[in-house]
Structure 1
Amino acid sequence: MSEKPRRGLFAQSTARHTGPGAGATPTTAAVNGNPSIEIKGFMTGFSLLRWLRLHGIDLLTMVAMGAIGLGVYEADPAPSRNFPVFNIDGSIAYPEFAYPLRKNIIPIWLAALLAFICPFVFFVLFQIRLRSIELLLGTTMGLLESLITAAVFQVFHKWLIGGLRPHFLGESDVCKPDVSTLTPNGVGFRQIMYNRSICTGDENDINDSLESWMSGHSTAAFAGFVYLFFYFNAQLKVMADHRPALPRHIQSTASHAHSLASLPWLERYWKMILTIAPILGASLIAASLTVDEFHNWYDCLGGAVTGTFCAIIAYRKNFAALWDFRFNHILLPRSTSIFHRHAKDGELATSRFGYVPQEALVQRPVASEGGWRRDWGVAGAPNDASALMV
């Protein structure tokens, strides 16, 4: 089997591939029978107007969600929390809330920017091989859906639930409690509980320090970087049916199998490192908040769970699988929407994905080993431990 000829980023290939069965996505050249799949250039067949009509509702919804999130973020904290300052014996009740105010190691705007820019840079770089603006836009939309949804989720928690930041009670920084008012104004058992009325600090600083739960840094970092983790795993096929990145002549020639032991670099451990690197980045951003005393550990954990949850849903909403290595790189099709009600010539009348073998050839991943960028497909039920190359 000969290799495909190399081509430029915007060039159109003349290579055509066929696969058994039906059910190809709208990117195929045929719909029924044995579809003929044509690999095209970056902009070939793309219509911005059609794309906007297909995804207009999603774009408008994201704008609306962003506006809601911004409005809630600017609102004052809803609950009025009671908290102790001193124990009955005169000691500090909660030393964990008495740290001095420090600057963020990573500001919130930078955390949010990194959560978008870092994945987007890799989406663009991978287009050197993928050559599909529709795939680039679809992948980026999924990332934005993850980030925006997670942000709105966490700002509602900040507004309605909140909590004390570790530097809340700082006498020279945030609350600056007026000790002379403590005894007559207390509530609860032995009047040791107080509210923000004892604070003499800046109103905005007090509001911010009452919104510790949950961490916006942590939420944004995990929403963006967990999405990137799934993208790397799908495109590089780290968890697949082969050991990553063996040269083609070794993959296809059994007589060379003995050489693997003497060539450890061929295993390309770097693909695994690259795949888990986003998780390292997200965890470092979240953990830094316990170093600069802006969040409690449970604030960071709550944000991490929320961000991860949103990333999982956003990725699976846009791609055919999370863990099934045969289909997790394939962007799900969309042929109709409220602004594009009827599929036109060359488009499928349905936006459902078929999960049939040749679908793995319609959109190819970045990885080339294991036959992924050749005229091969995969067969077998979704989530099978093994798959047949056809």
Structure 2
Amino acid sequence: MSKELVGALKALEEKGISREIIIDAIEAALINAYRKNYDEANVRVDLNLDKGTMHLFSRRDVVEKSEDDLLEMSLEDAQAINPSYEIGDIVETEEIPRDFGRIAATTAKQIITQRFREAERGLIYEEYVDRADDIINGVVERLDARNIYVGIGKIEAILLPNEQIQGETYEPHDRIKVYITKVERSSKGPQVFVSRTHPGLLRRLFELEVPEIFDGTVEIKSIAREAGDRSKISVVAHNEEIDPVGACVGTKGARVQSIVNELHGEKIDIVEWSEDPVQFVANALSPSKVVDVQVNEEEKSTLVVVPDYQLSLAIGKRGQNARLAAKLTGWKIDIKSETDATEQGLYDPETAAIIVQPVEKIEEEAAEEVATDIDLYDED
């Protein structure tokens, strides 16, 4: 075996293709090439990369009388080589083929190339299958009528239309963060599918920006997202001295603002999680104030009472705030104003057992200003 070939094979091994795959590929190619010249010959290849040696042996069964010299050897001929041979043994003879021929050589090359390509695809699959449910930096490579193809290293990931944020536009060479949703094998090699709309993307972005989440001091309990428009996340601290909401917001909103920028202005409400559904539902409806929450455990539903001037804020534009709060908490939420709830006999401000949050009278303009705040949960 030439030094150049040995060097090339060792270079492949350094790239991560296992020695067994390399040896199997070359052996299969040589056997196939030999059989192109010698029909159904039974052969074995002995390849040693460390020594740089390669030997090819023909294998013939010992029989009483040979009828096919390619596959059989008579007992008389076998014992002429070694008297210990008996019927049923296999005689191996080293072959030194001088010329495989152009077709055989081309076939051998194709087999080796195909095996190495399959091995490389397998390595890529193994690399990315372990990164499912993770975030990765990518570069927009190309676009077609429907999909966006994002370069993430050794492969192009596919950003399908339903995984693209409505209104976001990209050009080739733009850098974006994407969330790996699944990795599949296909006849063309591994396929990686990514998302910009998955709630997991928001979770991973907070893990990157908030050290307390990354180290587990603060935990994200749930996420409700309408990608490109608004999201809510609930967080809890496992250290009483840490304010989970404040940790996520950061100094002057720096941490959450970085995430908002990455998502091109998507509004994010951060609320504190609670085991008490009353408190949790009230928090989830932020930035609206809540005066009472009545819980129906059997139906897993709640009746939420808010001040009259906060009703539209609690419901949100096209019901978005209430819808996201319901997704975040897992509870059905029915919102009523104080006046309507009182008139229907559902709420009595004098006897209400629960006052979830102190409510201060604010002007309508102030309420609207809070509703358009991009990222913060009002802790007051």
Q: Say yes or no: TM over 0.5.
A: no
Which bracket does the TM-score occupy, shorter chain normalised?
A: under 0.3
Higher helix share: 1
Larger Rg over CA atoms? 2
Q: Which has the higher contact order (CA 8 A, sep 6+)?
A: 1
The alignment's TM-score, normalised by the length of structure 2, stands at: 0.25
The alignment's TM-score, normalised by the length of structure 1, stands at: 0.25
